[in-house]
Structure 1
Amino acid sequence: MLQTTFIRDNKELTIAGLIKKHFKDAEQAVDRIIDLDQKRREAQQQLDDVLTQANLKAKEIGALLKAGKKEEADASKAETAVLKERSKELEELHKHMEATLQDELVKLPNLPHVSVPEGRTAEDNVTVLESGVKPVLPENALPHWELIKKLGGNNAPIIDFELGNKIAAAGFPVYKGKAARLQRAMISFFLDEAGKAGYTEIQPPIVVNADSGFGTGQLPDKEGQMYHDAADDLYLIPTAEVPVTNLYRDVIVSEAHLPVKNVAYTPCFRREAGSWGAHVRGLNRLHQFDKVEIVQVRKAEESYEALQEMSNHVQGLLEKLELPFRILRLCGGDMGFTSALTFDFEVWSAGQERWLECSSVSNFETYQANRLKLRYKNADKKTQLLHTLNGSALALPRILAALLENNQQMDGTVKVPAVLVPYCGFDVIE
């Protein structure tokens, strides 16, 4: 959440940033916030003045009674009663202004970093790196949703979408045999690599309350994309970012404990309302999927160095998996609501002949920390907001799709990347 002091002191910069993110009616929204903030501060000043007068009157009444001036004391009491009523009115006005201001602030997305390119859609994103050689597949190569039938046999596919639909609904596949073991292998590999990079492993809840959803910016922006249990008012997590970052809600982190580097594996749940078409076939888009997430909490002056460090970590995973990939710097219109700068990673899916997003690495600067009240005390003992960052390292479905498609052999088998063999115990899927 943006800070009112920043908006007030940097009006034109705020408007320009909101416009870059294609936020509707940016200037009017900023003007409303500045006006509400002014009225809130005026109400606070008036309340403070009335309370000061009431305190002075209380002392005056005591002195008058001590001096035996009862009539004058009674007159002062009457004035005090008026002041108390006025203070109640001003307190209610201030609360109303505070709540209205808060409602307006949470509607604003984070401002984009200066390096974010102009643009409205994914077509305007900028490729900053493309790495690896796209494989040349045999003539009988298949997309993964057809390949899995061949690998497991038509009656026993290694990833069963129909069975998942029977048990739950579309978008909840069942992994069997070597597909299940390969999933587990990737999770273990990703966690081990994060551990080597200095991340502390966390096993968080996979449901969160509304305060947690608000803290990381999923609420009130993305209610329609989250599965919600109305009876207990709990949400299934869309990513481990939510519970892991909320470990530090309302916390003043000791400077000695910075930087914070956490990693977590969780299942993730997304309703993906409104998604349809050929581009979401098979593993391309699911309602439930597994993901390993890395999260960092850093001082402001270190956060962009940390963002590069996290991007390098994801790049290293893809290189070890021998997958061709590219890195995109997202434009203003294609960025997430809470992000200041995001790099998307896409792997080449040879069976589909298209790029598939498999990771986003983002710096949120103080946007989440302001909602979370996540702070530290600097060397001058001044309380400062921290910066939060997160990245997928990695999301499994599209990685698995690319591994299956890119490693198809002439004899119809699929070769397993060497780095995963010690984890899964086999080097080929027949």
Structure 2
Amino acid sequence: MLDLKFIRENPHIVAQAIKDKQEKVDFSQFLDLDEQRRNFLQELEFKRRQLNQLSSSMAKFKKQGEPTDQIHHQLKDLSQEIKQIELNYKKVYDQWEKLYHFIPNIPEQDTPLGSSEQDNKTIKIWGEVEKSKEGLDYHQVCEKLHLVNWQSASIISQSSFPLYLGDGARLEMALIMFMLDLHQKHQYTQVFPPFLINRDSMFGTGQLPKMEEDSYVIEKDDLFLNPTAEVPVTNLFKGQIIPEQKLPVKLSAFTTCFRREAGSYGKETKGLLRMHQFNKVELVHLVKPEDGFNSLEQLLSQAELVLQQLKLPYRVRMLCRGDMTFASALTYDLEVWAPISKKFLEVSSVSYFKDFQARRIGLKYQPENGAKQFIHTLNGSALATPRTMIAILEHYQQEDNTVMIPEVLLPYFSGQKVINSSEQ
């Protein structure tokens, strides 16, 4: 969340951010409620001082044997006034807090204006993108080689949940292990977190309240299925004060992610492209504020390295303000090229949140000299597996529609070099 002092001193900046990010929050009402809330607090403080003074006078009069009827009535009336002010304050506070939780992070100045992915800015291209080839698209090759069984998955669960088979399952696990091993070489500490997340943790990283309708929730326990490893891994440090000498903290995590994709109506949802359940390796950085932008570039380069070692062409896009997430100040997307489908596919988002998440979860660091400060948080997918698999199935597909295994994945295939049919 944003610093309240910043909001009060820079309402025009916050109002512009709300507009640019296309958030639906009545900021004028928030400012009005904020003023009412502060006035009620001042009034309560004044009335409580009066109550304490009268209570002291009552005790003094009793000790001296003087009449206390008048003070007793004053105390009773003042107590009733305070109760009513407290009720009014609570009503205003609840409305104020609800609006406060919907105020987004401020986009960085150099993020492009725009309302959708069409307005994102390409800042880098690696490899031969937009080069097409003939063959079966990813969905067709999955069916021909029996890599994913959607029919069985829908019987076990429902549509848009995957069931990988044979070499499809091996390729999925090989990708996960390759990415974890690669990040281990860059001094990441590996985390394997819970897949059920409580409401406070979902709020802490900015998924709630805005994204609740896109989340799977176990209502009886009020627990959410993990939407991304960003949530449990960042919340690992909730409420902590980290010594400066222990920064930066760099963590990697593989998790299965669950999303309803409530906003996907009208988008292509075939096969591996958009699913309710998918696997992802996530990187999380906790850094000092002055190290934030360098850390962002490092995160981006390490996500890119996965695609480079897989020899998959891609582009890097800076997201426009209307396409950024609620909590992000700056986001880059990595989009891999699928040459048979002839389209770019997002496989990673790398985001810088500044102190927005840290304020929500109460995460600070202690400088060697000076007062405690909020940490800056960053994270990035490195990478999500389904669309990475799509790119592999199309880039490495041979004339007979079998698929060569990328060189960096061979150690995970026990000598196997080609993906053939997995039909049983």
TM-score of the aligned structures, taking structure 1 as reference length: 0.92
Distance in 2 separating the partners of 1:42 and 1:277: 48
Query: Is structure 2 residue 61 aligned with structure 1 residue 64?
Result: yes
Check conservation: 2:108, 2:330, Cα contact below 8 A: yes
Distance in 2 separating the partners of 1:105 and 1:174: 41
Distance in 1 separating the partners of 2:21 and 2:86: 36
Query: Is structure 2 residue 400 aligned with structure 1 residue 408?
Result: no
Show CA shifts across 1:302-343 (max 9, x none).
212111110011011110010000000000111111111110
Query: Is structure 2 residue 263 aligned with structure 1 residue 310?
Result: no
Distance in 1 separating the partners of 2:129 and 2:403: 16
Distance in 1 separating the partners of 2:376 and 2:94: 25
- Which sections of structure 1, spanning at least 5 residues, go unmatched? none
Distance in 2 separating the partners of 1:113 and 1:137: 36
Distance in 2 separating the partners of 1:158 and 1:299: 45
Q: 1:261 aligns with which of 246, 250, 257?
A: 250
Residues 65-84 of structure 1: matches in 2 within 5 Å?
65-68=62-65, 70-71=66-67, 73-84=68-79
2:142 aligns with 148
CA, structure 1 residues 384+91, in 2 after alignment: closer, same or farther (shift >3 Å)? farther
1:197 aligns with 186
How much does 1:90 deviate?
Answer: 2.2
CA, structure 1 residues 250+96, in 2 after alignment: closer, same or farther (shift >3 Å)? farther
Distance in 2 separating the partners of 1:171 and 1:105: 35
CA, structure 1 residues 14+230, in 2 after alignment: closer, same or farther (shift >3 Å)? same
Q: 2:46 aligns with which of 17, 42, 49?
A: 49
CA, structure 1 residues 385+138, in 2 after alignment: closer, same or farther (shift >3 Å)? closer
Query: Is structure 2 residue 156 aligned with structure 1 residue 161?
Result: no
Q: Which amino acid aligns with 1:65?
A: K
Distance in 2 separating the partners of 1:35 and 1:263: 43
Distance in 1 separating the partners of 2:36 and 2:312: 56
Distance in 1 separating the partners of 2:245 and 2:70: 59
How much does 1:138 deviate?
Answer: 5.8
3-state DSSP of counterpart to 1:272: coil
Distance in 1 separating the partners of 2:50 and 2:360: 35
Q: Which amino acid aligns with 1:218?
A: Q
1:127 aligns with 122
How much does 1:380 deviate?
Answer: 5.0
Show CA shifts across 1:339-381 (max 9, x none).
1111000000011010000000011122222221222334455
Q: 2:325 aligns with which of 326, 336, 357?
A: 336
1:280 aligns with 269
Distance in 2 separating the partners of 1:183 and 1:142: 19
Check conservation: 2:338, 2:390, Cα contact below 8 A: yes
TM-score of the aligned structures, taking structure 2 as reference length: 0.93
CA, structure 1 residues 191+35, in 2 after alignment: closer, same or farther (shift >3 Å)? same
Distance in 1 separating the partners of 2:133 and 2:15: 53
CA, structure 1 residues 88+8, in 2 after alignment: closer, same or farther (shift >3 Å)? same
How much does 1:256 deviate?
Answer: 3.2
Distance in 2 separating the partners of 1:216 and 1:137: 39
3-state DSSP of counterpart to 1:149: helix
Check conservation: 1:190, 1:394, Cα contact below 8 A: yes
Check conservation: 1:138, 1:408, Cα contact below 8 A: no
Cα RMSD (Å) of the superposition? 1.9
1:427 aligns with 417
Q: 2:171 aligns with which of 182, 191, 202?
A: 182
Runs of 4+ in 1 over 6 A off after TM superposition: none
How much does 1:270 deviate?
Answer: 1.1
2:4 aligns with 4
Distance in 1 separating the partners of 2:282 and 2:276: 17
3-state DSSP of counterpart to 1:280: coil
1:111 aligns with 106
3-state DSSP of counterpart to 2:268: helix
How much does 1:137 deviate?
Answer: 6.4
Distance in 2 separating the partners of 1:202 and 1:45: 46
Show CA shifts across 1:231-258 (max 9, x none).
2221111111111112122223333332
